Amino acid sequence: MRLGKATGTTAEERLGSLGLELPPPAKAVAAYEPWVISNSMLYTSGQLPWVAGDLRYKGKIGAALSADEGYLACQLATLNAIAQLKDALGPLEKVRRVVRIEGVLNVAPDFSETPAVLNGASHLVSEVFQERGRHTRMLYTNPQMPLDCACLIILWAEV
């Protein structure tokens, strides 16, 4: 679903106003940490569009998946990344600013609407964190993704 306007005074209230609930944070699927804090920065590992341990969006955007489905995949992966922030910090109000979003998209060779697809991540972060969600971002495409996932989202947050 495309996001509406969030209401509420805290990030978690705004999530609820969007009809979203944070899932349990995903565990690492290999030899890495799901998140790390160094100095005043929290870095998440790449988060996939999981729902209860199953990948909701698999395949190439622009082939098996539409651009709209890619947008929703990025939104879902970002919700999982926000769950990692909560796991690391407790209250999301401890996030001073989301500094960067990095998105890796699994795209068909001729697909070029990648900025609009990654907006699924940017729109969610902006609605949930408001001014604290104004971020930079980097977008990568990859011809082969882990587990054939549609996308992978990484957040950098100042804490």
Query: In angstroms, what CA-CA distances link 25 with 28, 52, 67, 127?
Result: 9, 10, 26, 20
Confidence of residue 1 (pLDDT cuts 50, 70, 90): low
**Regarding beta strands 50-51 and 54-55, do their DSSP bridges make them parallel or antiparallel, or are they unpaired?**
antiparallel
* Per-residue confidence (pLDDT) for residue 21, from 0 to 100: 94
Query: How many alpha carbons fall within 13 Å on the CB side of residue 101?
Result: 29
Q: Which domains does the chain have, with CATH numbers?
A: 12-24+33-158 (3.30.1330.40)
| Burial status of residue 100 (CB atoms within 10 A of its CB: 0-12, 13-18, 19 or more) | middle
Containing 153, the helix (H) or strand (E) segment is strand 151-158
pLDDT digits 0-9 by tens, 45-89: 999 999 998 999 999 999 999 999 999 999 999 999 999 999 999
Q: Pairing relation of β-strands 35-38 and 97-106?
A: unpaired
Q: How confident is the model at residue 143 (pLDDT cuts 50, 70, 90)?
A: confident
What the block records as the tokens of 57 is 């969006």
Q: CB count, 10 Å around CB of 33?
A: 11
> Residue 110: phi, psi to the nearest 5?
-100, 10
Q: What is the pLDDT of residues 92-112, one digit of tens each?
A: 999 999 999 999 999 999 999
pLDDT digits (tens, 9 = 90+) for 10-43: 999 999 999 999 999 999 889 999 999 999 999 9
User: What span, in angstroms and rounded, lies between the C-alpha atoms of 150 and 33?
Assistant: 21
Q: What is the pTM of this model?
A: 0.96
